[in-house]
Amino acid sequence: MEKLLRLLADRELHSGEEIGRLLNISRAAVWKKIKNLQALGLQLDVIRGKGYRLASGVELLDSTTICNALDKTVLNNTVLHTCLITESTNDLICTLANRSFSNKIQFCTAEHQTRGRGRRARQWSNPFGGAICLSALWCLGEGTASLEGLSLAVGLGVLQALTSCGATELGLKWPNDILWQGRKLAGVLLEVHGDPTGDCQVVIGIGVNIKLTDKQLATIDQPAVDLATVCGQNISRNRAISAIINALYHILEGYKVKGFSMFRDQWCQHDIAVGQEVTLDASEKKVRGRALGISEGGGIILETDKGCRVFHGGEISLRIGG
């Protein structure tokens, strides 16, 4: 399948006969591979009597392009793995992680993941070539207890990266969703493994909608938007991934020194819930109140009928509105 993708990526039309000859497969096998790619969500131009090519705006991942756009310091202190298809980049990065690189932040990205997941076990939609699924493995020795507010800091880093790609009017919805005009553009999922006071690993999963069809957007279980719509033009996935890696590296380096306190004021500048009536849903228990901002540790402060209360992350969902 990868050879077929590379062939179609030159933007030229390739007939089924040509593809079969170059890949040494039958016309029937060519047709089957084309249908498989389309079933994964990849947008192809299919022109009767002429052939196939990648649709305009579809860009394949290129590790060389991504790495060439990284800051020198980031390039020297990170490792990037890329693959075609995987179940989950969060799972794959744990499998691929090389112990000899434990002092570096390791990243993994894929063209498509079949079982991508978001918070609260929700599925993350990942059409082939239309979104970013990127995971990072970060090792540290301060223990899981030192990670307060980390997910918020990561969300801020993603917002900064997308802003550098041309996105405007982005906001943060506690704890780590990036929205544009009330629609979800990107999300973050953290999975922590290790000792509360010793060595631990953090797997950071990041999903960003880059360019989706109306049909693909309609399959998402909440109002959603893609980066192409936000920016008014197609944005390179490779460029966006480089920007996210650059931003995330500097966020994590700063977090190691000062924790979330270093980023709290910046996060508050993008808080879309502050001052609004919200509902927190935690394990089927709902709490309603007015959002007053976030605490020093990244918890959301609510003014409820029982007074002001602070709620921290985990399996909590926030909905803005009465």
pLDDT of 281 reads: 87
List the one residue out of 152, 122, 167 whose CA is nearest residue 315: 122
C-alpha to C-alpha distance for 298 and 300, rounded to whole angstroms? 7
pLDDT of 127 reads: 79
Residue type, 1: M
Is the Cα torsion angle 303, 223, 231, 203 positive or negative in sign?
Answer: positive
Cβ atoms of 249 and 74 within 8 Å: the answer is yes
Catalytic residue check, 184? yes
- pLDDT tens, the chain, 322 aa long: 788 888 888 888 999 999 999 999 998 999 999 998 888 888 889 998 899 998 877 888 999 999 999 999 999 999 999 998 898 999 999 888 766 566 889 999 999 888 766 555 566 667 788 899 999 999 887 777 778 899 999 999 999 999 999 999 999 999 989 999 999 999 999 998 877 777 888 999 999 999 988 888 888 888 999 999 999 999 999 999 999 999 999 999 999 999 999 999 999 999 999 999 999 987 678 899 999 999 999 999 999 998 999 998 766 788 987 5
Catalytic residue among 117, 173, 184, 264: 184
pLDDT of 119 reads: 53
Count of all residues that appear for the chain in the document: 322
Pairing mode, if any, of strands 307-311 and 316-320? unpaired
Pairing mode, if any, of strands 51-54 and 44-47? antiparallel
pLDDT of 54 reads: 87
Catalytic residue check, 319? yes
pLDDT of 55 reads: 83
Catalytic residue among 119, 173, 211, 264: 119
